[in-house]
Structure 1
Amino acid sequence: MQPNQPNQTSQTSQNDPVDRKVVLVTGASSGIGEGIATRLVAEGHHVVAGARRTGHLRALADRTAGAATRSGGSLHPLELDVTERASVAAFVDGARRRFGRVDVFVNNAGVMPLSRLDSLLVDEWDRMIDVNVRGLLHGIAAALPVFADQGSGHFVTIASIGAHQVVPTSAVYSASKYAAWAITEGLRQESDPSIRVTTVSPGVVDSELADSITDPGAAAAMRTYRANAIAPDAIARAVGFAIDQPADVDVNEVIVRPTRQR
């Protein structure tokens, strides 16, 4: 199967247990997104993994094949650019055609090119807004009608500890993640009770996020800041906990960070 050509005839088995979910994960080619996809496949869910780097997604599918066989789950790579509304719509539509439903949409894709405001890295500011804010809104716009039609669904937003605090170099990033928090909280309040909404805010996690920092001062500060990072699986466990709750339980918000991060 090519990453951008989903199987249009495959459906979930009628014998699937009721707790086996169809979970869409954006930004699944590395870091937290890869960790979430890996864990959920091992827990027996059907994961549709989206990202621009389709080679990374194919490698992820290969790495999770053994776990999928053991658990009954699966991983299906699809090319995705969250900054393009049509791409996100096709991502959701492809998953729905393959499985007949979408149970969970994990808005995880994000970028973090930190810098001081007086560095005037405006293109990087724009990129953060496009991915971290517009990408989130595109996911909501694509999945919300599906959830409303089904009468069920679960949004999970991967925000950041930056949604709760601002430090030098984080002004734009924190603003984008506060926006993610605010949008998701508004979605929770506006949604029908059949639709669950969760925000997970990670602290320092091993990932490629810091690799996009071009500002030398911010990059140096981040190397010190990330000395006590935790593994992406810590965030994946929080997501697994939230989506595995009974339908009448809505885990609204979780903050997960290293014990040494204060």
Structure 2
Amino acid sequence: MTTPVPGHHHRVAVITGASSGIGAATARALHAGGYRVALLARRTDRINAIAAELGAGALPIAADVTDRPSLVHAAARVREMFGPADVLVNNAGTMLLGPFSSERRDDYRRMIGVNLLGAITATEVFLDQLTDGEGDLINISSVAGRTARATNGVYAATKWGMNGWSESLRQELLPTVRVTLIEPGVVDTELPTHITHDATRANVQKGYDAASVKPDEVAEIIAFALARPRHLSINEILLRPTTQTA
């Protein structure tokens, strides 16, 4: 049983999809920078292990961004243990690429539910905490939010949606909450392994093997944006491996 940490002098960051990849790396980077971190994910074994690795100030919470009640429970738990969240990192996502067809209709609904509606729901649930003080919202989008290509149409649609929604929120929430959009290119994560279309998965994995940014490098960029003085808001960061052409 984790006991509440007294006092609220440390900033509190909530990270969705914290069980691997950019989410886990961001949890580690922010915790190292003095944040209390709440790790939200469905895979409790992984977030429990990361929280045990980090020690005091790390709180694993089982949550699914497609299940609003689980997010409501998570928000209450964060407030109980750490006080209100100062930062929400909308990182949970899935990339189910492949040729457009009825056969993959479940993949399309899954991507929209996780990538776009999941981020919207998490933000709606935690918004009152972010607006309690000087909050930050970090939305993890993608290069695919700027450039679509064959076989990534619905994935790109979720990321284009994330970009437009983020810009609207930026205008609505300033100056109380800063909104930062992170658009990575190829990052060394498990995303390609989720792809259900065999030929597409093999092709995408080749690209990932050829060149990728490390998750901790993205996490460093997130930590940098958060560390800027409040009068400075870094609204959008596009990053790619140097050799990535599109």
CA distance in 1: counterparts of 2:6 and 2:181, whole angstroms: 27
For the Cα contact (< 8 Å) 1:200–1:255, is it kept in 2?
Answer: yes
Query: Is structure 2 residue 206 aligned with structure 1 residue 224?
Result: yes
Could you tell me how far 1:248 is from its partner in structure 2? 1.3
For the Cα contact (< 8 Å) 1:106–1:157, is it kept in 2?
Answer: yes
- Report the residue type matching 1:258 in the other structure: P
Q: Name 1:138's counterpart in structure 2.
A: 121
Partner of residue 7 from structure 2, selected from 13, 22, 36: 13
Q: Name 2:190's counterpart in structure 1.
A: 208
- Report the residue type matching 1:210 in the other structure: P
| 1:205-238: CA deviation from partner (whole Å, max 9, x where unpaired) | 1111111111122112202221201110111011
| 1:17-63: CA deviation from partner (whole Å, max 9, x where unpaired) | xxx31000000001110111111111111110000000001111222
| Structure 1 counterpart SS, 2:101 | helix
Query: Is structure 2 residue 48 aligned with structure 1 residue 58?
Result: yes
Could you tell me how far 1:247 is from its partner in structure 2? 1.4
Q: Name 1:71's counterpart in structure 2.
A: none
For the Cα contact (< 8 Å) 1:163–1:174, is it kept in 2?
Answer: yes
Q: TM-score, normalised by structure 2?
A: 0.94
For the Cα contact (< 8 Å) 1:26–1:51, is it kept in 2?
Answer: yes
Q: Name 2:174's counterpart in structure 1.
A: 192
What 5-or-longer segments of structure 1 have no aligned partner?
A: 69-73
| Structure 2 counterpart SS, 1:121 | helix
| 1:125-175: CA deviation from partner (whole Å, max 9, x where unpaired) | 010011001101111111212233x14211100111110111111101010
For the Cα contact (< 8 Å) 2:139–2:181, is it kept in 1?
Answer: yes
Q: Name 1:166's counterpart in structure 2.
A: 148
Superposition RMSD in Å: 1.5
CA distance in 1: counterparts of 2:35 and 2:214, whole angstroms: 21
For the Cα contact (< 8 Å) 2:42–2:64, is it kept in 1?
Answer: yes
Could you tell me how far 1:87 is from its partner in structure 2? 1.2
Q: Name 1:108's counterpart in structure 2.
A: 91
Q: Name 2:27's counterpart in structure 1.
A: 37
| Structure 2 counterpart SS, 1:90 | helix
For the Cα contact (< 8 Å) 1:12–1:100, is it kept in 2?
Answer: no
For the Cα contact (< 8 Å) 1:234–1:256, is it kept in 2?
Answer: no
CA distance in 1: counterparts of 2:206 and 2:181, whole angstroms: 27
Q: Name 1:89's counterpart in structure 2.
A: 72
Q: Name 2:18's counterpart in structure 1.
A: 28
- Report the residue type matching 2:7 in the other structure: S
- Report the residue type matching 1:257 in the other structure: R
- Report the residue type matching 2:24 in the other structure: E
- Report the residue type matching 2:226 in the other structure: I
| Structure 1 counterpart SS, 2:25 | helix
Partner of residue 247 from structure 1, selected from 197, 205, 230: 230
Q: TM-score, normalised by structure 1?
A: 0.89
User: Quick one: percent identity of the two aligned structures?
Assistant: 37
CA distance in 2: counterparts of 1:75 and 1:146, whole angstroms: 18
CA distance in 2: counterparts of 1:64 and 1:204, whole angstroms: 27
- Report the residue type matching 1:261 in the other structure: Q
- Report the residue type matching 1:134 in the other structure: L
CA distance in 2: counterparts of 1:94 and 1:118, whole angstroms: 41
Q: Spell out the pairing of 1:123-134 with structure 2 (5 A cutoff).
A: 123-134=106-117
Partner of residue 157 from structure 2, selected from 149, 153, 175: 175
Could you tell me how far 1:119 is from its partner in structure 2? 6.1
